[in-house]
């Protein structure tokens, strides 16, 4: 099971691409899953709750500055970047709402895997994801209301309730179940990464299947905005951490946390609150597709560069000796 989990996580982007392609070719095979997106995201969040431990919360207390920078950047940089891109590209209202929605979401759970691959501070990544996710029921509707109200009337209270149902309650339930049955559920916890991968792949496939016409019409424009949003998130997150004097491992973790969104939440919120305009869910779906490609690429670059840097230092030390 551990080997299967590792394989699925390493090939995550390939599975997303494969099923997105199948969904475009045979949308009828996946479109029925749209009714279950909220449930699938709830399962992912329940699994996250089951994996949380006191150690995760202690890591927040042990490095409060780094966690504050990561979470602060998450809820400042990505929403403002989304708003700026909507203005710069003069996006139609239904697409702009979708871009802002994914921009206001917390960090994605896949960021922890990418942080590990990049040899970043994984404990910091987990702490930032946990804190931003717990703050999302309040901050996601509030920030979205402030930035998106120029395009559409928003019921922030209804959105707050949705985020609590999809994120907060499943996480709390997962923490409770883990605490009560710790010894009995260890084997199930090991399966949760695999369950999360499958659920995210199916969520993306469902949205792609339901938005085939819109993808053919506006897919390239949305892809360009998503690539810029994601890339600038990585860049600004990294240099903000550096300017605030975090070390390299912490800066990489913050960069990944900022650049990678919980796009599944964006899809779920769009499906619930903007069902009349299916294209609103498309930026979140494409973001989920893209950041699972860009994340591993960035991680590989950093891991390779760090390895080369280490070899250079070892060579210099040998020369000095």
For residue range 143-166, what is the model confidence (pLDDT) as tens digits? 998 888 777 777 778 888 888 877
pLDDT at 100 over 70: yes
- Specify the pLDDT at position 185: 67
pLDDT at 84 over 50: yes
HEC readout, 28-82? HHCHHHHHHHHHHHHHHHHHHHHHCCHHHHHHHHHCHHHHHHHHHHHHHHHHHHH
Domain spans in the chain, listed from the N-terminal domain onward: 2-320
pLDDT at 52 over 90: no
Domain 2-320 has CATH 1.10.110.30: no
pTM, entire model: 0.82
Query: 173 or 194: which carries more pLDDT confidence?
Result: 173
- Specify the pLDDT at position 233: 95
d(CA 153, CA 34): 24
68 exposure class (CB count in 10 Å sphere: 0-12, 13-18, 19+): middle
Residue-wise pLDDT for 205-253, tens only, equals 887 887 777 777 777 888 999 999 999 999 999 999 999 999 999 999 9
d(CA 274, CA 295): 28
- Specify the pLDDT at position 315: 46
Average pLDDT, the chain: 82
Q: What angle do CA 132, 136, 141 make, to 5 degrees?
A: 145
Residue-wise pLDDT for 28-37, tens only, equals 888 888 788 7
Residue-wise pLDDT for 272-312, tens only, equals 788 777 788 888 888 887 887 888 888 888 888 876 665 55
């Amino acid at each position: 099971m551990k080997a299967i989990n590792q394989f699925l996580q390493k090939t995550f982007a390939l599975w997303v691409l494969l099923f997105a392609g199948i969904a475009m070719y045979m949308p009828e095979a996946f479109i029925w899953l749209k009714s279950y997106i909220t449930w699938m995201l709830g399962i992912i969040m329940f699994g996250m709750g089951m994996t949380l431990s006191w150690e995760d919360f202690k890591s927040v207390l042990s490095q409060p500055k780094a966690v504050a920078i990561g979470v602060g950047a998450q809820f400042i940089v990505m929403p403002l970047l989304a708003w700026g891109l909507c203005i710069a590209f003069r996006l139609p209202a239904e697409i702009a709402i979708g871009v802002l929605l994914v921009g206001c979401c917390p960090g994605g759970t896949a960021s922890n895997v990418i942080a590990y691959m990049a040899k970043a501070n994984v404990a910091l990544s987990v702490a930032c994801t946990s804190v931003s996710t717990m703050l999302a029921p309040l901050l996601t509707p509030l920030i979205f209301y402030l930035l998106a109200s120029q395009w559409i009337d928003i019921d922030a209270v209804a959105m707050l309730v949705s985020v609590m149902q999809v994120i907060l309650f499943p996480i709390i339930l997962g923490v409770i179940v883990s605490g009560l049955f710790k010894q009995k559920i260890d084997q199930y916890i090991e399966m949760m990464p695999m369950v999360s991968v499958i659920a995210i792949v199916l969520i993306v496939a469902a949205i792609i299947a339901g938005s085939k016409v819109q993808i053919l019409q506006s897919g390239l424009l949305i892809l360009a905005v998503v690539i810029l949003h994601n890339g600038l998130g990585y860049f600004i997150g990294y240099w903000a951490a550096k300017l605030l004097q975090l070390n390299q491992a912490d800066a990489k973790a913050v960069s990944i946390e900022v650049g990678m969104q919980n796009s599944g939440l964006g899809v779920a919120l769009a499906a619930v609150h903007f069902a009349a305009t299916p294209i609103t869910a498309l930026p979140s779906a494409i973001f989920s597709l893209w950041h699972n490609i860009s994340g591993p690429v960035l991680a590989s670059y950093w891991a390779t560069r760090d390895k080369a840097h280490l070899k250079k230092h070892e060579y210099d030390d040998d020369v000095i000796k």
